[in-house]
Amino acid sequence: MKISGKTLVSLPALFLLAALVFYGCSRQDGRTQQGVSGGGSAAKVNPAGFPIVTETVTLTVFGSRDQNQAKWSDMYFFKKYAEKTGINLDLQEVPAQGFEEKKNLLFASNELPDIFLRAYISPVQFTMYGAASKQLIPLDPSLDQWAPNIAKIIRDNEAVRMAVTAADGRIYGLPELDFSNTGSMGFKQWINKTWLEKLGLQVPTTPQELRAVLAAFQSRDPNGNGKADEIPLGIREISSIYVLGGSWGLDHQMGDTVNITNGKIHYWLKDNNFKEYLVFLNDLYKNKLLWQNYYKADSRPEWRSNLSNALFGAFYMPYSDVFINVEDQFTGYPPLKGPYGDQLWADANNGVNTPGAFAISNTCKYPEAALRWVDYFYSDEGSIFYRYGIENETFTFDAQGNAVINNDILRSPEGFMTALGKINLVPGGGGPHLITSKTDGIVASDLTKKVSADLAPYRPKVIFNKPALSETDQERVNAIVQDLNKYRDESVTKFIIGEWGFERWDEYCRTLDRIGLSELESIYQKAFDASRK
C-alpha cells in the first residue's frame, strides 16, 4: 500500500459510496464477517509475552503524522517495539493536512494497509467502512483472546463500550483512552491567588461571591502597577460558554449541550437554567468583569498575551504549560455552588479521546498479531513504554515511583514536543493506548495534576459519548447541527454582550425548534436506547 504524493482532489460523495459498496462486496470473506478467525496465522502468534510472533512478520501501516513527530521509520518507539515483538512495520504515514481525504480515497480504491494507526476513524466511518463495506474487520469476537487488556476495559466500562461500538453492534476500532484526572476533563478553573492574598479575599464558592471577587480585581489594582489593566474573568471563546455552566445544572454529556437523566437525553438550550446562566454572564460583560473580546475570532493572540502577563484574575485552561512562566501566581478551586445547589464540573469526558485510533483491514494476514501488538499499550507497563520509552534510556523513575522523562528531551533546544516527537507518538495525541494519572505527567505539570485532582470529585458519575447513528440519521443530524450551532452561537453571544435583550428568549426558543432541536434529541434518544441493549 503506497500513498501518492500528488495533489488530491475531492471525489463526489456518490462515487465514494459506490466504490465502498463495490469493493466491500467484492472483498468479503470469512474474516470480514466474523472478525479475527483464531486459526491459520494464529499458529505464528504466542498467546502471551514477548516476542509476539514465533517468526518475523511485516504489517503495513497507514496513519496521520503530527507536525511535531519525526518520520515514523526513524522514531525510537517503532524501532524498539519491533525488536521486542518480532513484528516489523511498513510505515506509510502522511501529514495531517489532507489526511481525511487521503484516508477516504484509500478506502475507495481498496488499496488497504494491514492496520490503521492514529487514523482517526470516526463512528460514522465505523458504519461506512466496517458495517457497510466490510473493509474493516470486527474486533469484538477476538478481544478476549488476543487483546485482554482492552477487552477488560470495554467490558467494565459501559461508556467506553458505547463509544467504540458501531451502529450494527460491532467494534471495528480501538481507542485512545485517557483515564487520568487531567485528561478526564477539558478546562480546569484557575484564580489568581496572589491577587486574592493582596486584597484579603477568599476563594469564591458561589456565583455571587465570584462576582464580588471579580469586581474587587477590577477596582482595587491587585497587580499594583497603578493601571486599570486587570481583566477579572478570561473566558477564551464562544464554545467555552457551554462547558462552564455546571453550577446551573447544565451538564455536557455526549460532548454537547445535553443532560442525561435516567436514560433520557435532553438538550438544555431552551431551559430556564440556561437563560439564568446567560443573564449572569451578561451582567459580568456589561460591567466589564468578563473579557470584552472573548467572542471575537481573531482574539486568541491577545488572550495568550494577557495570560502570559498574568492580567487575568480568573480563567479556564486545560494545562498550565501555556502560562508556565506565571503559574506560581495561580491556583485551582472547586466548582461554584449554583442557585439550585448544583456543584458540577461539566467539562468532563469518559476518557475516550479517539474512538478509532486503531483498526484492522480485511486484507491483514496476521490480525491476531496485530491485536496483540496494540493491546500492550492498554496495560500499565505498555502505557509507560508508549509515553516514556525505556527506563534509563529515555526516562527514569523518581522516588515516588513516577516516570520522569530525561532532561535532555524535556529541555531540548529544539523544543520539548519536537524532541519528544523523535521518541514516540505522544505529540498530537490520537494513538491507541491508555493514559492514567501515573503516565499523564509527560504533559501535565504537578500544579495541573493537583488542580485536576481537586476538581475530579465534581465530575458527572457517568459520561457518555454520542451513540453511533445509521447513515440516514447521521445525514439528518449533520444538516440540523450545521444550522443549529451557527444560530446558537450567534444568539448566545448577542444575549451575553447585550445586543439582544432577554425579551427575545421565546423567539430564540421557537427558532431552535424550527431548526430541529427536538428532532435532534429524538434521533439521539433512539440511538442511545439501541446502544444500551
Structural domains of the chain, ranges and CATH numbers in brackets: 30-182+348-444 (3.40.190.10), 188-347+469-531 (3.40.190.10)
Find where cell 511485516 sits: 58
Grouping H, G, I as helix, E, B as strand and the rest as coil, residue 358 is: strand
DSSP state of 343: -
User: 379 phi and psi, to 5 degrees?
Assistant: -100, 165
pLDDT of residue 26: 40
Claim: this prediction has a pTM higher than 0.85: no
**Across the chain, what does the average pLDDT equal?**
91
For residue 16, name the pLDDT band (cuts at 50, 70, 90): very low
Percentage of residues of the chain with pLDDT beyond 90: 83
pLDDT of residue 306: 94
Q: With a cut of 50, say whether residue 483 has pLDDT above it.
A: yes
Contact 154, 46 (CB under 8 A): no
Contact 133, 21 (CB under 8 A): yes
**pLDDT tens readout for residues 37-61:** 544 455 589 999 999 999 999 999 9
Average pLDDT, stretch 282-309? 94
Q: With a cut of 90, say whether residue 36 has pLDDT above it.
A: no
**pLDDT tens readout for residues 100-149:** 999 999 999 999 999 999 999 998 899 899 999 999 999 999 999 999 99
pLDDT of residue 37: 52
Grouping H, G, I as helix, E, B as strand and the rest as coil, residue 440 is: coil
Where does 200-236 have alpha helices with state H? Answer: 207-219
